[in-house]
A and B are shown apart, each in its own frame.
Chain A
Amino acid sequence: MYPRWLWQGFALPGVVWLILLFIIPFYAVTAVAFGQVNPTLLTPEPVWNPLHWNVGWMSEALGRLRPGGDLWVVVVRTCEYVVVSVGMCIAIGYPVAYYIARHATRTKSLLLILLILPLWISYLMRMLAWVNLLAPDGYVNRFLMWSHVISTPYGWLDGRPITVIFALIYGYIPFFILPLYASLDRIDKSFLEAARDLGASPVRTFLHVTLPLSKTGILGGCVLVALPMFGDYYTPNIVSGAPTTSMVGNQIDLYFHYTSQPTIGAALTLIMSVFLVVLMAYYMVTVARATKEQQA
């Protein structure tokens, strides 16, 4: 009933906006990473034509990220932090999502609101809350000293990896639980009854019915928290600030804002994006396969 050009016309402003301010900017990162640096001003000179790309800066960045390079330790550290944090998100988040989806009855709405609430409290505010609690005379140290676990205040904020990992978990776990909750909530309860009626033990029912059916939810949650964690730099800066807890994002921030070497920064951003696109592609392939299996 509507002319076809109408819908295309409706989509036009948004598509143009995203091309101009999302696609082209990303190409600008590529052009800077494969570009030259002005020898006197030390400003980046992007090369827009792929035929004239200069791979020098890119190979320098890759060399430094490789085992043996000076940034290798940062790469390993970033992966360690992300893997441990995501693992802890699963360990804490799965029981919570499982309980709300399966067992909560009267308290379900309240729990859902509490679950969504942290998403709408500023991330920086939640980090600030822990900076206050973990201060030398903060509640955490006071509690630990009162219970005689420690005798002098522990410097939680003095560049401790455990604090950074803790902050990452605290910051991102709501984003993990929500998609997982959605996928657990969708599971048809008759599957579980069928498994139990057919004599499967509870553990077997969980391992062979619930867990596989929530696999896409777990993966979705992992992707949703792991991608931003890889690019995070503000969390380690807020709760530690020490170079010993610096992540890849901190290096990018450093090259742009402190040492003015945007070319290396752009190369690092590009490498990180390629890595994340691979992760994303793996997730999408897995989800597509799982959807096909469930339909079959």
Chain B
Amino acid sequence: MTTTTPAPPPTATPAPRPSAGRRIRSWLANPWGRPRFLVLITWSYMIWAIVPVLIAVQYSFNDSRSRTIWAGFSTRWYISDPSSVINDPTLSSALQQSLKLAAADVIIATPIGVLLALGLARWRGRGSGTSNFIMLFPLVTPEIVMGVSLLLVFTNLFTFIHTGTFAQILGHVTFSISYVVVIVRGRLFSIGRQYEEAAADLGASPPVALVKVLLPLLTPAIVAGAAICFAISIDDFVISYWLSSGGNTTTVPMAIYAATRAAPLPSTNAIATILSLITLASVILGYVGYRVFTRGERQAGQGMVGDMAAFDI
């Protein structure tokens, strides 16, 4: 497809400016030609999707209090202004809380998710179908439903757990586990069982086959899973909001939410920029990790993009 592009079929009437209707017909007519109409829509969409965010990033460096009128470049909203990210206690504590939750989420959800993926992929028998089904539900449940249900269970049944950091960590882990499972399970299916069977044939005991053969093969998916846990935890607003106890348990998305509803300063843009950079860095790190650990495998790298593209359904 990329190398041999057949010449476009001759059009019946080569009019200099075809009408819109004919142009739409012509891009439908030629599945391999240059569909200018589609090019236009696609690139407009991309610009529409990305440029507003870039403008928001730009205004985090504004030298005035305005988020709409440019007054020159400055880093005052990051470091020097009294209400900059560093100096405003609300913002700096929000950043700490977000990082704390994300780190705890990675540490708890990754091992649980990896074990669950292994278990579900290999466990055939009573209970496995149900467990598979339960695992998929957190992926499609609207976050507000999860937020409400966790809040109610912590206030009515598990009353020894109070809203606050610990409850927020429990909530983040609950919605992260399924993402790890989906990524690790995809990798398990693609490597198959032949390597472990070969190891067993060559005399490896089950624990040795597991640790020396399967674990290294799973490493890329584990790294990717951990990175995605970190990213979705950092970005989460709803669960943190429902399980927060105010004050110190405010996360960055909650701080942005509160600020947009009041009168946001460019420092809000600044902390949002920092948040997005952290998320992007973790995803890129996960991707690079995936590539490094799948070095030498055919079609490596497509695996994770494919998983990331498909893991929501």
A residues near B (Cβ < 8 Å) are 1-4, 6-15, 17-19, 21-26, 28-29, 31-32, 44, 46, 92, 95-96, 98-100, 102-105, 111-112, 114-118, 120-133, 135, 137-139, 170, 173-175, 178-179, 181-182, 189, 192, 196, 202-203, 205-206, 220, 223-224, 227-228, 230-234, 237-238, 241, 249, 252-253, 256, 262, 265-266, 269, 272-273, 276, 280
Q: How far is the CB of B235 from chain A (nearest CB, A)?
A: 5
Partner among B112, B127, B157, B305 whose Cβ is within 8 Å of the Cβ of A17: B112
- Summarize B's interface: helix, strand, loop or mixed: helix
Q: Among residues 146 to 187 in chain B, which have CB atoms less than 8 Å away from a CB atom of chain A?
A: 146, 148-153, 156-157, 170-171, 173-174, 177, 181
Partner among B68, B145, B156 whose Cβ is within 8 Å of the Cβ of A231: B145
- Summarize A's interface: helix, strand, loop or mixed: helix
Known pairs A10-B115, A25-B153, A128-B260; list 19 more (Cβ under 8 Å).
A1-B196, A2-B122, A2-B210, A3-B206, A9-B119, A14-B119, A17-B112, A21-B170, A26-B149, A29-B148, A29-B152, A95-B37, A124-B253, A125-B272, A125-B276, A137-B68, A202-B28, A205-B31, A231-B144
B residues near A (Cβ < 8 Å) are 1-2, 5, 25, 28-32, 34-35, 37-39, 41-42, 45-46, 48-50, 52-53, 55-56, 59, 66-69, 112-113, 115-116, 118-120, 122-123, 125, 127-128, 131, 134-135, 137-138, 140-146, 148-153, 156-157, 170-171, 173-174, 177, 181, 196-197, 200, 206, 209-210, 231, 234-235, 237-238, 241-242, 252-253, 256-257, 260-261, 264, 268-269, 272-273, 275-276, 279-280, 283, 305-306, 308-310, 312-313
Q: What is the count of residue pairs linking A and B with beta-carbon distances less than 8 angstroms?
A: 289
**Given the known A-B contacts A128-B268, A130-B52, A234-B237, are A103 and B119 also in contact in the complex, defined by CB atoms under 8 Å?**
no
What are some 24 contacts across the A-B interface (CB < 8 A)? A1-B196, A7-B118, A8-B127, A13-B116, A14-B113, A14-B116, A18-B177, A28-B157, A46-B152, A115-B46, A116-B309, A120-B276, A124-B256, A124-B257, A126-B52, A133-B55, A135-B67, A174-B49, A175-B312, A178-B312, A196-B31, A234-B237, A269-B149, A273-B145
